[in-house]
Chains A and B, each alone.
Chain A
Amino acid sequence: SQTIHQWPATLVQPVGSPLSLECTVEGTSNPNLYWYRQAAGRGLQLLFYSVGIGQISSEVPQNLSASRPQDRQFILSSKKLLLSDSGFYLCAWSVPRPLNEKLFFGSGTQLSVL
């Protein structure tokens, strides 16, 4: 069966520090991968998605970046964090079309930028 791992679960970082969040998927090949951010009490904002190795689509201009160095690995990074980067970050995966579009989420990373 497929599983998604996301870490760390919580992170407290000072403003201006770098960020690296990692997500890996097991039990499937060539998944679609996504990074979402959820501000406190708000909806899910799509940040990046990838349909293959090295292919990244950015949805929102910001100081974050994403990379997909391996088929089942998705990394969210920042060189210098801002206060506004605080939030709940969720990695997700889905099987590419035409099979199944169901989206499965990781357990999330609660990021606090102070």
Chain B
Amino acid sequence: GENVEQHPSTLSVQEGDSAVIKCTYSDSASNYFPWYKQELGKRPQLIIDIRSNVGEKKDQRIAVTLNKTAKHFSLHITETQPEDSAVYFCAAEGGYQKVTFGTGTKLQVIP
């Protein structure tokens, strides 16, 4: 089955700096890669996603890149703000519409 690895597990950045979170996946059949943000005690919320026929997608300060050949994808947050502090999860959807998550990255933005 699909295996998603995510790095780093924790990340601290100064407010205004950029943050990058990287994920790799194992199943070459996976074709949908969402990213979720989870604040403490809350449900995960979808923040951006990318499909396998696209190499990059941007939404304001958030961007995701995908390298299908290398089977890795990354989340980039620019001009970070304290409200970006949360746990971020990458995920991959392969066969049978099953979504497998990475282990999460705790992002701390220091004011």
Contacts and interface: CB of A to CB of B under 8 A. Distances in A.
Contact of A105 (B1, B43, B96): B43
Interface residue SS majority, chain B = strand
B101 interface: yes
Interface in A65-114: 90, 94, 96-97, 101-108
Interface in B66-97: 89, 91, 93, 96-97
Contact of B32 (A32, A45, A101): A101
A70 B35 CA distance: 30
B43 A49 contact: no
A53 to B, nearest CB: 15
A105 B89 contact: no
Interface residue SS majority, chain A = strand
A105 B22 CA distance: 23
Contacts of B1: 59
Chain A interface: which size bin?
20 to 34
Nearest to A104: B46
A46 interface: yes
B34 A90 contact: no
Contacts of B36: 103
A51 interface: yes
Contacts of A35: none
B97 A43 contact: no
A42 B6 CA distance: 12
Given A43-B104, A44-B44, A97-B97, 12 more contacts: A32-B97, A34-B99, A42-B104, A43-B6, A46-B100, A57-B96, A57-B98, A101-B32, A102-B34, A103-B46, A105-B45, A107-B43
21 contacts: A34-B99, A36-B101, A42-B104, A43-B6, A43-B89, A43-B101, A43-B103, A43-B104, A44-B89, A45-B101, A46-B100, A49-B97, A49-B98, A59-B1, A102-B34, A102-B46, A102-B49, A103-B99, A105-B44, A108-B42, A108-B43
